[in-house]
Structure 1
């Protein structure tokens, strides 16, 4: 049995403002959205239509949208937010 990934990525449904959806990250049970100033914690549960992504698919999303791939390693941990 393998260990679960410390961060899991999701993509929201496409919208007019975000044709490729928004990138979300789940770490330590906390959901974050990638925003212009970095990761922002969301206070509400996972959007029901959000789809799970592999790390590679999240990297592809970042490349398409012009985001730095290093942001995928910067999702805040729960203990860092206390």
Structure 2
């Protein structure tokens, strides 16, 4: 199961960044797809429903199919 989170807003990312957590491994959505996020998830990341993650993608101009392409940890 994949959980989605949104980081806090910053000047560089006014709507935060999208994080996906799958099997305890975290990934951040980057211009070239999902990148492994080392360490623990950001402390103040807000949990998002799938619908909220879709809304975030639409607002930010990301393809919704990316939500189904979160890597499976090996």
**Could you state the TM-score of these two structures normalised by the residue count of structure 2?**
0.98
Residue 3 (structure 2) aligns with: 8
Q: Over aligned residues, Cα RMSD in angstroms?
A: 0.5
Task: Using the TM superposition, give the Cα deviation of residue 36 of structure 1 relative to its aligned residue in structure 2, in angstroms.
Answer: 0.1
Instruction: Determine which structure has more spread, i.e. the larger CA radius of gyration.
Output: 1
Residue 25 (structure 2) aligns with: 30
Residue 14 (structure 2) aligns with: 19
Structure 2 residue corresponding to 1:55, chosen from 50, 54, 68: 50
1:77 aligns with 2:72: yes
**Could you state the TM-score of these two structures normalised by the residue count of structure 1?**
0.89
Structure 1, gaps ≥5 residues long: 1-5
Give the number of aligned pairs: 74
